[in-house]
Copies of this chain bind each other. A is one copy, B any other.
Amino acid sequence: MTTSPNAGLIGRDGARQKLLTPSLLVDCETLDANLARMQAICEAAGVALRPHGKAHKCSMLARRQIEAGAVGICVATPGEAEAFANAGVGDLLLTSTFASPQAIERVVRICAGGVRLCCVVDHPDVVERIAAAARAKGITVPLLVDLDMGRKRAGVRGPDEAVLLARRILETAGVTMDGLQAYAGHLSHCVSYGERKAGAAEAVARIRAVIEALASELDYTPERVTGGSTGAFPLELAGGVYTEMQCGSYALMDTEYAAVDADGSGEPMFPPSLFVATSVTSANHPGLATADAGEKRLATKYGVPPRIARGAPDGATYRATSDEHGQITLPEGVSLSPGNLLELVVPHCDPTVNLYDHMHVVSGNRLIDIWPIDARGA
């Protein structure tokens, strides 16, 4: 992790306009408001909030979420777990399955270091491998049974497999059965509120069937049922089966989630706190300009373009058209000049953050801090 080339600007008014471009900006007040709002909603529902760190990969931001009331942080990879653990985040949930000997060794080493790192499993062989590695270190690794909510990506397929796997965990030394993960990822970016509502109801029914099977077959009640996304969490909370929400993107937001009105109000619930600052590098054609944020600086998932938040008039659009460049299309009669600055709302925050080493935390035009994206690439 290198020092940001903008480090000398910390504390300076007007620094927001003097950053080397492209740079990642976080608006501090908007971020804090987003953290507080999600925390309040989860608390009102009596559900824990464990925000997903894959959306920001930044331990400073994770600590801020914990200070705001989060019970811990989710991570998507063993590398993220290691980075957050190294930064002192002590309560983690690794939401992806893993199975190679080297990944298991890494995860068990993190657990042995004193961090509470809960893992998800979907195969009995992997339970045995994790347990053996844990026993060899003299520790116990907490596990959740991962339920496949329909994407065929990971998870057991239904109540029968869930019971088999839960029994295996309950009977195996070196691991403990902590509950269920039921992440309905297919709902997160489902733009139609009606479809999302129907999907959430179906997901809740699927989870209830597993809970009932665990009770009747094993006399086991999961203390923890974790899942939820920024796009679907109001419906997921309403279902009444989750004890913990994993939402991540609400903190920073992006144009792809802005298209999803999570609560059916027709408006996004969380404004963007994340921006990419970019500057015009060429402008030799009427109606067009080129800026320095391309596909290596703006990642999309569903093909939604970034939105110009500042620096160009209404009607101007931005597209990342090549690795290092984006093309701005301007309304008639408007031009930009080389060196002009723009700020963009990013298409998809998770993979975009993963392209940068630092978040530049701004309050108005003042640069108040620079946070390393310390789990980037991990």
Contact A96 B281 (CB under 8 A): yes
Is residue A181 within 8 Å, beta carbon to beta carbon, of the partner chain? no
Counted per complex, copies of this chain come to: 2
Which of A65-73, A131-139, A228-236, A318-326 contacts its partner?
Answer: A318-326
Contact B154 A281 (CB under 8 A): yes
Contact B284 A123 (CB under 8 A): yes
Write out the residue numbers on chain B whose beta carbons fall within 8 Å of the beta carbon of A301.
295, 323
Q: Identify A338's interface contact among B21, B106, B126, B282, CB under 8 A.
A: B126
Contact A5-B77, Cβ < 8 Å, known A21-B103, A97-B338, A122-B282: no
Which of A213-221, A267-275, A354-362 contacts its partner?
Answer: A354-362
Contact A153 B100 (CB under 8 A): no
Write out the residue numbers on chain B whose beta carbons fall within 8 Å of the beta carbon of A76.
323-324
Which of A39-47, A199-207, A238-246, A285-293 contacts its partner?
Answer: A285-293
Q: Identify A282's interface contact among B123, B299, B322, B341, CB under 8 A.
A: B123
Q: Identify A280's interface contact among B82, B99, B341, CB under 8 A.
A: B99
Q: Identify A103's interface contact among B279, B283, B325, CB under 8 A.
A: B279
CA distance A351 to B323 in the complex (A): 7
Residue of B nearest to A353 (CB): B296
Q: How many residues of A are in contact with the other chain, CB < 8 A?
A: 68
Q: Identify A290's interface contact among B153, B280, B281, CB under 8 A.
A: B153
Residue of B nearest to A23 (CB): B102
Which of A29-37, A155-163, A171-179, A256-264 contacts its partner?
Answer: A155-163
CA distance A1 to B333 in the complex (A): 46
CA distance A280 to B341 in the complex (A): 44
A-B contact pairs, 6 of them (CB 8 A): A21-B100, A103-B292, A122-B282, A154-B281, A154-B284, A154-B325
Contact A100 B339 (CB under 8 A): yes
Is residue A343 within 8 Å, beta carbon to beta carbon, of the partner chain? no
